[in-house]
Amino acid sequence: MLAAALASMLTGACGGDETGTASAPTATPATPARPPVSTTKTLPLLPGVETFSVDAGHQEGPLTYPQVPPVGGVHNPVWTQCTFYDRAVPNEMAVHSLEHGAIWITYRPDLPQDQIDLLAGLARSRKDVLVSRWEEGLPSPLVATGWGRQLKLTTATDPRLGEFVRIYANQGPEINAPC
């Protein structure tokens, strides 16, 4: 019942994915290399939200990011499909999803199952939310990340999670791109 309430609260203009199943990442069309461009926009701040100035650009191979999890930056040319994953996803591909306006919610492996179920329901109810496990070093039990923004949370029932998704979804530099 709590999962339904959370999903209902968060379902917005972007709609949801009826299947709720994860599939292989989708390749982007070949794009010419471009220099990084600053893309952080000014939006309302929720209590606890940190903001970061980040650049965009495509680069293959492993990349290092200053934040855990990354909030943006140069990333892989392939993105991760928005849905629920019970495993970690490649940072470089998730950052590409952030560029498309996704919200990436990461959780620790020891997060209680009822909390994981809430997050799974949220990811499956929206086309702009990516939820994945984070194996080690996550600074709080769960972290909500949007392009250039991050909120550390202790529970999936924190009302700021829904507000974070509402305010910061579809705010990346390539909004309305597939996720």
Domain ranges of the chain: 1-6+49-56+68-179
Report whether pLDDT(149) > 60.
yes
Give this prediction's pTM: 0.79
- In CATH terms, the fold of domain 1-6+49-56+68-179 is Glutaredoxin (3.40.30)
Task: Compare 25 and 132 and report the one with higher pLDDT.
Answer: 132
**Which pLDDT belongs to residue 111?**
98
Give the number of other Cβ atoms within 10 Å of residue 33's Cβ: 8
Task: Compare 153 and 173 and report the one with higher pLDDT.
Answer: 153
**Which pLDDT belongs to residue 43?**
66
Please compute the mean of the pLDDT values over residues 77-100 and round it to a whole number. 96
Task: Write the DSSP assignment of 89-115 as a string of letters.
Answer: --HHHHHHHHHTT-EEEEE-TTS-HHH
